[in-house]
Amino acid sequence: MFSVSPEIYLVLSQASRWIFILFALILLSLAWSWHHSDRKERRDRFKNLPGAGTVGELVVLSGSDELPADTWFPVPREGVLGSLRSCDLVIPCPGVSSHHLDFSWQDGTGLLIRPRVGCEVLIDGVPVTRRGMDMPLVHGSVLQIGSAVLRLQLFAALSHTNRTFIPPQPVPGSFSDPMPQPVPVPFSYAPEPVNTQPVYCPPPAPAPYPQQAPVPYPEPYYQESSVPRVPAEQPVSAQSEPEAEPRPASAPRRRRQPEQWKEDWSE
């Protein structure tokens, strides 16, 4: 193979070592520059996405002097809630221990709550005291820790991907009817804040139904109705809701879709 004379190699070797040092210096500075530019780019992206990495917010309904009502916290996908500053969600209220509970977001389920040993938590009035017993917080759920009462508001986009969708329960007597599929909702909904209207739950129909009476499909519902209803003139809702079906006399009158639309957007 090709080789050079020792004299030439000596010069070449010494010169190349200086060049290597120069290259190493350049590489070091370029690595710094690369890292810096990536950080800047990421920071710019985070500026455009203020809610990145969070699933919603916890709004304080009642707290303490240090934590007045209407304070809100962005909720990350997982973390620790407690009274210590190092926690992801800091709740400085009486009755809240330093590390009170762990929480983690699970797609399709909600925000899972795992209280630490000896810590008491109420979710919608139901006590959760045992570690490992997962009770998900969904949109509008009320979390009570010590003297603090917090309400979870999930981001609209998470609701619209049906992650918090709860399938409707089959109505007694309508065993012949198939389960309705969730209506695909077009992506046109309100900006922040998300709608916080109370849950629309169809009340249980009086049993037993007359066998001949036509039973309407139970409407699939979302927690806290964070999903803005689709206007009636849109083809999706028109296909999914046949208006010709009579409903039982005891059932409450279902709101028309335009009314729901106006009501949902009134806030």
Partner 1 sequence: MTKQKSSARFRFTGFMLFLALFLFLVPATQVGDYRLYMLAAGVPCVMFLCCTVLARAFSMDRLVLALSLLFCALGIASLALTDPAAAMAQAFGCGIGIIVLIIGAVFVRSLSGSLLTAIVSAFLGLLLLGGKLIAPTFTLPVTQPALALLLVAFAVLLSREGPVSAAAVGILSAVLLLLRGEPADCLIWGITVLLLLFAVDGRPLVFLPALAAFVLLFWGMYSRSVPDAVLPEAVSADFLKTVGVLGIDTLPEGMAFPETSSLLPRLFCHYGPVFTGLAFLTYLPLILRGTTVASCARTRIHAILAMGACLLLGLYAIAAVLSFFGFLPFTVSEMPMLTTSPASLGAHLFLAGLLCGISGRNDSDLAEDAHLAMLAK
Could you list the residues that contact partner 1 (CB under 8 A)?
Answer: 1-4, 6, 9, 12-14, 16-21, 23-28, 30-35, 37-39, 42, 45, 48-49, 51-53, 76-79, 84, 86, 98-99, 155-158, 160-161, 187, 189, 191
SS3 245: coil
Q: Which is nearer to partner 1, 97 or 144 (CB)?
A: 97
Q: Angle at the Cα of 230 (from 226 to 236), degrees rounded to 5?
A: 125
Q: Compute the least distance from the CB of residue 26 to partner 1, in Å.
A: 5
Q: Compute the least distance from the CB of residue 17 to partner 1, in Å.
A: 4
3-state helix, strand, coil in the chain (%, to 5): 25, 20, 55
Q: Which is nearer to partner 1, 14 or 169 (CB)?
A: 14
Q: Compute the least distance from the CB of residue 9 to partner 1, in Å.
A: 5
Q: Compute the least distance from the CB of residue 14 to partner 1, in Å.
A: 6
| Burial environment of residue 71 by CB neighbours within 10 A (0 to 12, 13 to 18, 19 or more) | middle
DSSP annotation of 159: H
Q: Compute the least distance from the CB of residue 76 to partner 1, in Å.
A: 7
Q: Which is nearer to partner 1, 39 or 262 (CB)?
A: 39
Q: Which is nearer to partner 1, 56 or 216 (CB)?
A: 56
Q: Which amino acid is at 172?
A: P
Q: Which is nearer to partner 1, 189 or 222 (CB)?
A: 189
208 prior amide bond cis, ω within 30 = yes
- CA torsion sign for 116, 118, 119, 124 is positive
The Cα–Cα gap between 169 and 185 comes to 20
